[in-house]
């Protein structure tokens, strides 16, 4: 379906989408508090925003919050396979949002949708992976001059934007939402851990207990997933290139080894590195018959799929989101979700309770940008500490948890150097 204001799959899906948006909202109390304040204060009044995010029920609640703040938002997908079509329908029908997103869209449609959000002349961007910022900088330069700032959701996006800034080519300031403690400590670790496992199980139905699971990368996402796999009874191997992270993995109780050893042992391989070809041609050659391979990093570049395609004698889809590749010698390799992020392609992304904090950071960073852009340089900025701390306080409160406060004596002790042994 295509209409001036939107390009979505089917407006008829809106009812289910709305139910899911409401269901997610009950687990997003911090975002709700912000939405209620935004309704009164309207800090984003008159702001046109282009948002390139995974189109999920949780994102819908962020969109509602930005709208409550007075923004006019156009939303497109940040991945061709992550859109929840029912949510996209409801956003258009029930919330009057401009949406360009269809699950399974091809590359051309994906970029057409990004361009359509830019056609609305945004003054702010909200990205997950930095595709919108890259497109603006590479192909839509005329539009960049009106943009006052943006935010970025994910590790991969922050890395790309910092590289743009290092080359002095970034044309407006960005707040790196990913780097807030209330974002990556929770979303990347517990969110990715749970939703990646959810996606693998939905796609394959496999029993995790007793399997050898190879976790490629031990950043926040990798350690989150490794912990879940261990908890479910898998023998977990971690591969790393960073000595400190490898040490942490070893002392967290995981086997650590190079990929060319792990490749021979794994039943299931999961990439969470943000890098390219971390599972490569030589690794496929070493894998066991029936090995399952998937990715939970932002881009579908972590597994060398072109090499796999070349090596394979044949390929067929054996099940929704499961492709079977037959290699010489009749060895079978199963690739999930075309190497795209398994947690959003096969499952529904991170739970709302964790996206609550990530998207509270997004909403408050957007407000911060509007209030402060005149003072900011064309750099990548952290989320201000007060915002991060405020979100932690609100989340604790929403969870019914109270904590101790420093006494005057303790405060004094912590700020002094005199007292020793
Ligand atoms: N990234 C990971 N999980 C997500 C979700 N549920 N919604 C939006 N972005 C996400």
pLDDT digits (tens, 9 = 90+) for 158-197: 999 999 999 999 999 999 999 999 999 999 999 999 999 9
Is any ligand 1 atom within 6 A of the Cβ of residue 193? no
Instruction: Kindly state the percentage of the chain with pLDDT values over 70.
Output: 99
Q: 């912990």: which residue's tokens? A: 227
Distance between Cα 56 and ligand 1 center (Å) = 7
CB 100 within 8 A of CB 116: yes
- List the 48-53 sheet strands across, edge first: 6-7, 98-100, 72-77, 48-53, 124-127, 149-152, 174-176, 380-382
3 falls in which pLDDT band (50, 70, 90)? very low
Domains along the chain with CATH numbers: 6-183+350-398 (3.40.50.1480), 190-345 (3.40.50.720)
Is any ligand 1 atom within 6 A of the Cβ of residue 296? no
Q: What are phi and psi of 97, to 5 degrees?
A: -85, 150
Tell me the average pLDDT of the chain. 97
Reported pTM: 0.95
Q: From the alpha carbon of 56, which atom of ligand 1 is closest?
A: 7
- Bridge partners (DSSP) of residue 174 are 150, 380
Is any ligand 1 atom within 6 A of the Cβ of residue 192? no
Best mutation site among 351, 358, 360 for ligand 1, i.e. most ligand atoms within 8 A of its Cβ? 358
Which two structure tokens, joined as six digits, stand for 298? 């932002």
Q: What are phi and psi of 196, to 5 degrees?
A: -70, -45
Output the CA–CA distances (angstroms, integers) from residue 309 to 1, 54, 304, 313, 327, in the order listed: 32, 27, 9, 8, 9
Is a pLDDT exceeding 90 seen at residue 420? no
Distance between Cα 350 and ligand 1 center (Å) = 5
Q: From the alpha carbon of 55, which atom of ligand 1 is closest?
A: 8
Is any ligand 1 atom within 6 A of the Cβ of residue 350? yes
Task: Quick: pLDDT tens for 256-272.
Answer: 999 999 999 999 999 99
Is any ligand 1 atom within 6 A of the Cβ of residue 64? no
CA-wise closest residue to 187 among 353, 376, 51, 308: 353
Instruction: Kindly state the percentage of the chain with pLDDT values over 90.
Output: 98
CB 379 within 8 A of CB 170: yes
Output the CA–CA distances (angstroms, integers) from residue 111 to 64, 117, 170, 202, 306, in the order listed: 24, 10, 20, 29, 21
Q: 């984003």: which residue's tokens? A: 44
Cα separation, 179 vs 153, in Å, equals 9
Is a pLDDT exceeding 60 seen at residue 4? no
Distance between Cα 196 and ligand 1 center (Å) = 11
Say what the pLDDT of residue 418 is. Answer: 87
Average pLDDT of 204-218? 98
Best mutation site among 55, 59, 188 for ligand 1, i.e. most ligand atoms within 8 A of its Cβ? 59
CB 339 within 8 A of CB 297: no
Is any ligand 1 atom within 6 A of the Cβ of residue 58? yes
Best mutation site among 82, 272, 352 for ligand 1, i.e. most ligand atoms within 8 A of its Cβ? 82
Say what the pLDDT of residue 421 is. Answer: 82
Distance between Cα 338 and ligand 1 center (Å) = 19
Is any ligand 1 atom within 6 A of the Cβ of residue 56? yes
């Amino acid at each position: 379906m295509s209409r001036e204001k939107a390009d979505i799959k089917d407006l008829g899906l809106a009812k289910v989408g709305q139910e899911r948006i409401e269901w997610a909202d009950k687990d997003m109390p911090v975002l709700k508090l912000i939405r209620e304040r935004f309704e009164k204060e309207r800090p984003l009044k008159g702001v046109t925003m282009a948002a390139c995010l995974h189109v999920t029920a949780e994102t819908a609640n962020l969109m509602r919050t930005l709208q409550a703040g007075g923004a006019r938002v156009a939303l497109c997908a940040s991945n061709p396979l992550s859109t929840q079509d029912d949510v996209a329908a409801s956003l258009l029908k029930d919330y009057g949002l401009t949406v360009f997103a269809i699950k399974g869209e091809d590359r051309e449609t994906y970029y057409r949708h990004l361009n359509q959000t830019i056609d609305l002349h945004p003054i702010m961007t909200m990205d997950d992976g930095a595709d919108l910022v890259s497109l603006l900088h590479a192909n839509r330069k005329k539009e960049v001059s009106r943009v006052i700032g943006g935010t970025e959701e994910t590790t991969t996006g922050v890395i790309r934007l910092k590289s743009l800034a290092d080359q002095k080519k970034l044309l407006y300031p960005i707040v790196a939402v990913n780097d807030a403690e209330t974002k990556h400590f929770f979303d990347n670790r517990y969110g990715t851990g749970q939703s990646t496992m959810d996606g693998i199980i939905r796609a394959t139905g496999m029993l995790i207990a007793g399997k050898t699971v190879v976790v490629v990368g031990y950043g926040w996402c990798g350690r989150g997933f490794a912990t879940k796999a261990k908890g479910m009874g898998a023998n977990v191997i971690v591969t790393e290139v960073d000595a400190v992270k490898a040490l942490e993995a070893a002392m967290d109780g995981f086997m650590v080894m190079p990929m060319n050893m792990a490749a021979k042992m794994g039943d299931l391989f999961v990439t969470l590195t943000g890098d390219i070809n971390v599972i490569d041609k030589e690794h496929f050659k070493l894998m066991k018959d029936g090995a399952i391979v998937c990715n939970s990093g932002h881009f579908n570049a972590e597994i060398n799929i072109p090499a796999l395609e070349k090596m394979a004698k044949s390929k067929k889809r054996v099940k929704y989101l499961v492709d079977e590749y037959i290699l010489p010698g009749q060895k079978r390799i199963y690739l999930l979700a075309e190497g795209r992020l398994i947690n959003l392609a096969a499952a529904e992304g991170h739970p709302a309770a964790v996206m609550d904090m990530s998207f509270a950071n997004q909403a408050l960073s957007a407000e911060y940008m509007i209030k402060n852009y005149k003072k900011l340089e064309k750099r990548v900025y952290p989320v201000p500490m007060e915002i991060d701390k405020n979100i932690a306080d609100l989340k604790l409160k929403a969870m019914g948890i109270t904590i101790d406060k420093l006494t005057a004596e303790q405060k004094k002790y912590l700020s002094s150097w005199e007292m020793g042994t």
